[in-house]
Every structure is written in structure tokens, then in C-alpha cells.
Amino acid sequence: MPENWFEVGGYRLCSDRYYDAERHLWVELQPGSRVARVGFDPLGRETSGDIVEVSLSVVGTHVNRGEPFGNVEAAKFVGPLQAPVSGVVSGRNAQVLSRPGVLNDDPNEAWLVELDMADSSELSQLLRGEEQLRLWFAAEIERYRRQGAVAE
């Protein structure tokens, strides 16, 4: 496992990514730009169930933080994907659109959209860094276990 990756309860996380605690999405800044790649964190993917269909906003669409940038259909969840940061959709993962099941294989690798961020200060509302992520993710695993949403 590369040095910026670590595990919490068997789930892999990256200390260099930002995580939206409410939406269970990760945000990875692309080097030297304001472009943020967005994907499911592993717990968000697992608690949704197997993903069978994904639709994503077209390139050029502006979304505000909390607004939908697409929809997902999964075994346990059908509904909108809400943006963790505001911006303009500058890329869509063609592989995910043609084969949504790749999200089930490794949500850390399969991104959804790229957003050209409107306001990078919104990143301060997301979680980052191993210590902060470990505390949050362990609590989320426990919360989902109590609800019966993840296996013991």
C-alpha cells in the first residue's frame, strides 16, 4: 500500500484526499490545477450496494456544493449524487458510464466526475489527513453496523 494510503476497519483511505463526511465521496485535487476528481469512498459504495447504473451531468454543467451532479442506481440506494464542492463539470469517467460495475471493484480507483472548482475554500468543509479520517471513518463504520448496513 503506498505511504499515503491506510486502512480503517478493512477499508482503504488516502490521507491526501478530501472526504465529504455527509455524502461519502472523496475529492482528489489534480496536480497544478483547480480540478477536483470526485468518487465514492469505500463505505459509501458498500452501503449503497452493488452499483448497476450511473448517470452524470454533461460537461459544462455548473453545480453548487450539495446539488446533484448525477444519479446512481444501486441495490440499496437510488438517488442523486451530490457535489462535495461547487464547480463546473469538466470531465466524466467514460468507463464508469459504460460499465458502472467498475465502482464495485474498487471505488478508490474509479472516479465519477472532474469539477473545475469555483471556490477552493470549500475544501475546508471536508475532512483530510490520516488522524481526522481515522476517527470519522471508525465512527461511521460503527454507525452503519448498528443500522445493519455493513457486515460484521
- How far apart (Å, rounded) are the C-alpha atoms in residues 127 and 115? 18
Per-residue confidence (pLDDT) for residue 148, from 0 to 100: 85
Q: Cell for 99?
A: 460499465
- Find out whether 26 and 38 touch, Cβ atoms under 8 Å: yes
- Run means of pLDDT, 10 residues per run, the chain, 152 residues: 84 96 96 95 92 97 98 93 98 97 94 97 97 96 89 64
Per-residue confidence (pLDDT) for residue 150, from 0 to 100: 76
- How far apart (Å, rounded) are the C-alpha atoms in residues 125 and 114? 18
- Find out whether 88 and 73 touch, Cβ atoms under 8 Å: no
Task: From 117, 110, 131, 139, select the one nearest 25 (Cα to Cα).
Answer: 110
Per-residue confidence (pLDDT) for residue 141, from 0 to 100: 95
Per-residue confidence (pLDDT) for residue 1, from 0 to 100: 47
Domains of the chain: 5-147 (2.40.50.100)
- Find out whether 82 and 68 touch, Cβ atoms under 8 Å: yes
On the CB side of 95, CA atoms within 13 Å amount to 10
Q: Which residue has the cell 491506510?
A: 6
pTM for this entry:
0.94
H/E stretch holding 70? strand 68-74
